[in-house]
Amino acid sequence: MDTHPGAAASTLHVFVYGTLRRGEANDINRLWPAPHCLGPARIRGCLYDLGPYPGLVLGGAGWVQGELYAITAELEHQLDVIEEVAPVPSGEYTRRFVQVELDGRPLACLVYEIAPQRVQGVPCIVSGDWLRRV
């Protein structure tokens, strides 16, 4: 599990791109303590359609659309459970910390990346936006 240097002393941020987005099945806004939405964001990567949920592989030339939130350590733990990286990792997702840009300033942000072997032969969502996957 990746750890964020200085996370205990700073605000935590998470980039969500699939079922944790507003209005989706696992909407982060329904969790407690409530997150604070910082706005839409995007990161480099490829989004894959796994049926009921997407998987993100970081890097490459494409962009993946999502939302950026400020969260508490307590909410971060809940997200780890939802994404099955804790208490016992399933091997499907890995926690990563990447830089995103918000209003021209870089922020370290948590993102859950799918294991690349889980998306072999799976179609890419060309728009990079789970909400526009159809």
Q: Is 83 a catalytic residue?
A: yes
If you ran DSSP here, which 8-state letter would residue 34 be given? P
Q: Which of 83, 84, 92, 113 is catalytic?
A: 83
Question: What is the enclosing helix (H) or strand (E) of 107?
Answer: strand 105-114
* Residues 14 and 29: beta-carbon distance below 8 Å: no
Question: What is the enclosing helix (H) or strand (E) of 80?
Answer: helix 73-82
Active site residues: 83
